[in-house]
Structure 1
Amino acid sequence: MLYILVGVSFGLMCVLQVTLNISLRLAHSNFLEEQIKWLETSYNNLTEEKKQLQISYNNLTEEKKQLQISYNNLSEEKKHLQISYNNLTEEKKPLQISYNNLTEERDKFTELEWRTFNTSLYYVSNDYKTWEDSRQDCLKRGADLAVINSEEEQVFISQLNTKPWIGLTDKDSEGTWKWVDGTPLTTAFWSTEEPNDRAVNGEDCVSLYYHTQPVLKNWNDLACNTEFMWICEIVNG
């Protein structure tokens, strides 16, 4: 009887052991399934994140490419601009030299040879020429022999300390005095007993006396082939 009970007990224990093993296996199987599902979900999420990261990387790579192209274009433009700047700088040098020379000539032109009065410039010669040669010199300078239109201008020219030819003549018609600009004489500043046309071949050109007559009475008609200094005038405005 005891052996029977021991056998039955042992059998029950075996059944319990089997049942326990099965239960543990089932529980372990469920746990593994849950773990597998979680791992699959995590893998899928990581795969999607990787995909998005790849897209972002591709976008950034494209942006970098475009930025590099823009940078290269700007670098090329800068190079061309630098070349243009250098060319302009080189071109500026002779222009600056010409400007400096012209400025120097202008200063000399204004300060040494030319005088200003009202709106005109006056050139005072340092040489002696006939009336016609004097006029040709004025024309070469872009001027003409001085035309006196007022007492103020007469005083100004008389005070230049010279005995100059002026632009008045009656070569075209004796006794009909005209200025070189074609206008007839209206206001005259003849010296006493002038004009007298005293020379053998006539006196058809006019100069001023040098400090020998009052400034408002110092014109003198002379033979045009006489050599005197002269005054040119450029009228501005």
Structure 2
Amino acid sequence: MCYKFATDEKTYSDAKSSCRATGGHLAMPKDQATNDFLVKQIKDSFPSKYIFPWIGLTAQVQEGTWVWDDGTALGTGQWNNWDPGYPRHLDPHSTQTRCAAWLPNYSYKWIDHFACTYAFYYICEVKANAAP
């Protein structure tokens, strides 16, 4: 994968659209190694900023069902990096939708603390194409 670190902030939907326009997705840290690599890049790229970068994981379609930006579900028993107490469960009558971001502290765990309409930095991932 190749990763592009955005230098602007967008809502989850706009960030997702921006990544798709380049042929990719929002970054999907589906394993520890990918997560650790991306967190290191975030820390190196934004050393003096306290940012919450979006990741390609949302419960927008159905509350409690987390889905990656490529359409695959975050299944029970799969590796995840949720901060303790997350993901949270909303009131069933809430109209707020939730999207995941990295919590910018020493651990960079995932949180779903913000509505998808907040504007944050984001990371796109695109499959690397080998030259012929």
Task: Give the TM-score band, short-chain normalised.
Answer: 0.7 to 0.9
The alignment yields a C-alpha RMSD, in angstroms, of: 1.9
CA distance in 2, matches of 1:198, 1:173: 11
Which protein is richer in strand relative to its size? 2
Q: Which residue of 2 aligns with 1:209?
A: 103
Q: Is the 8 A contact 2:58 2:99 kept in 1?
A: yes
* Contact 1:123-1:233 at 8 Å conserved across structures: yes
Higher relative CO (Cα under 8 Å, sequence separation at least 6) belongs to 2
- Given that 1:201 and 1:223 are in contact with CA atoms closer than 8 Å, whether structure 2 keeps it comes out as no
Q: C-alpha displacement at 1:229, in angstroms?
A: 0.3
In the alignment, is residue 180 of structure 1 matched against residue 69 of structure 2?
yes
Q: Name the TM-score, length of structure 1 as normaliser.
A: 0.45
- Is residue 2:34 matched to residue 1:157? no
The alpha carbon displacement at 1:236 in A equals 3.2
In 1, the alpha carbon distance for the partners of 2:127 and 2:30 equals 12
CA separation of 1:198/1:158 partners in 2, compared to 1, >3 Å: closer, same or farther? farther
| SS of corresponding position for 1:183 | coil
Residue 235 of structure 1 and its aligned partner are, at CA, apart by 2.2
What is the CA distance between 1:213 and its match in structure 2? 4.2
Between the two proteins, what is the percent identity of the paired residues?
31
Instruction: Please say if 1:132 is aligned against 2:13.
Output: yes
Where do 4+ consecutive residues of structure 1 move more than 6 Å? none
Question: 2:55 is matched with which residue?
Answer: 166
Q: Deviations over 1:63-82 (max 9, x none)?
A: xxxxxxxxxxxxxxxxxxxx
Query: In the alignment, is residue 219 of structure 1 matched against residue 110 of structure 2?
Result: yes
Task: State how far apart, in whole Å, the 1-side matches of 2:67 and 2:25 are.
Answer: 14
Distance 1:170 1:145 in 2: 15
TM-score normalised by structure 2 residue count = 0.78
For structure 2, list consecutive stretches of 5 or more residues without a partner in the other structure: 44-50
Please tell me the residue identity of whatever aligns with 2:83. S
Rounded to whole Å, the distance in 1 between the matches of 2:60 and 2:17 is 16
Quick check: which one's helix share is greater? Answer: 1
Deviation sequence 1:20-57 (CA, Å, 0-9, x none) = xxxxxxxxxxxxxxxxxxxxxxxxxxxxxxxxxxxxxx
What is the CA–CA distance in structure 2 between the aligned matches of 1:232 and 1:126, rounded to whole Å? 11
SS in structure 2 opposite 1:172?
strand
Q: Hey, what does 1:231 align to over in structure 2?
A: 123
